[in-house]
Structure 1
Amino acid sequence: MADRDEHGRFLPGCKPGPGRPRKRYSAAELRDAILKAVCPDDMVAIVNKLVERAKTGDVPAAKLVLERILGPALPLDVLERLEAVEGKVRDERISNS
């Protein structure tokens, strides 16, 4: 490895690799292709199947359904901190009244 120093870093003048290939399609192009391929009736059938699987105990399906309806779950520490702040506000209101 003559192209690196004693710390493993590349030496000056070392030619970089080609990098990651460019995207073939943009996200907008892929989204448009999906919308053209899937009609509203297909979407209803997909959602119904997903809910059916969630009801039978398919945990990933249940997680997907709940996250799409309720949004992603907040980390527990955020909820604990929120409860602590709400408790302080409640205590201040009681002491000020």
Structure 2
Amino acid sequence: MRHRRPLTAVELAEIYDREPIETVLRLLQEIHRLRATIIRADQVRRMIGKGGSAYVSDCVWECFERELDAEPCLTDPPTTRQQKFSEAMGRQLQAWRMNGRRR
């Protein structure tokens, strides 16, 4: 499934302005948390990537590792919806293989 284009901070604020309810606020807080993890990943990338040093400060690296270790998406079991989607994709791939189609 293709992702939609990323939303900007302004667009996220506009969403809350249109629907200022607790559920939207909770979702926006989760988006904010995930964006903070992406910012930390970019900080690590700049430290070890092109033009950066091969050294990442212990403080930055430890914080990044803690953030990743706390991510539910890395440890949660699949939801019923995810499991059904995965099974359907598996059946589709198996059908493609049986019919000689590779993907």
**Same fold, TM-score > 0.5, yes or no:** no
TM range (shorter): under 0.3
Higher relative helix content: 2
| Larger Rg, first or second structure (1 or 2) | 1
Q: Normalising by structure 2, report the TM-score.
A: 0.27
